[in-house]
Amino acid sequence: MTKPPRSTSASTSLRAALETDLPAVARIYAHHVLTGFGSFEEVPPEVSKLNRRWRDVVGRGLPYLVAEAGGAVVGFAYAAPYRTRSAYRYTLEDSVYVAAEATGRGHGRALLARLIERCTELGYRQMVAVIGDSGNAASIGLHNALGFTQTGRLARRLRG
């Protein structure tokens, strides 16, 4: 992984997510579940389910971050194991979500840059972005801007 520059907007602060942030995380995530295809979920999960996911990530010593602007959580990002087989032990998958009303202001870039930085410091070597919506130009552009390279595209292979 290349080390990106620290790029936080003056109005954006980044920090480790706390359990008390999870209702805001749930609100942000619910919007993306209901309006896009990138999450691979069809029903927004309850805060309790997001709490279990958050505990799993931080319990592994991996970063789970939030972006704040104006005193409110406007985005979140975390890294999780990409696959469970041992050869993937240095490979992570990122997830980045920004509140609909806060897009286009650099929050996603700041979150992903810090996430990459933290994961590099922890000794990880590869980060994968599985962008589930090929029409998600913002996510594709964000990942390209921070050095990700598209290596494949899943297309429908079964014909009925």
Superfamily, domain 13-145: Gcn5-related N-acetyltransferase (GNAT) (3.40.630.30)
How many whole angstroms separate alpha carbon 118 and alpha carbon 22? 21
Query: Is 69 in contact with 12 (CB distance < 8 Å)?
Result: yes
What is residue 131's predicted lDDT score, i.e. its pLDDT?
A: 87
Blockwise average pLDDT, block size 10, the chain, 160 residues: 44 94 98 90 97 98 97 97 96 97 95 98 96 84 94 76
pTM comes to 0.89
Query: Is 49 in contact with 99 (CB distance < 8 Å)?
Result: no
Query: Is 99 in contact with 28 (CB distance < 8 Å)?
Result: yes
**Domain residues of the chain, as ranges?**
13-145
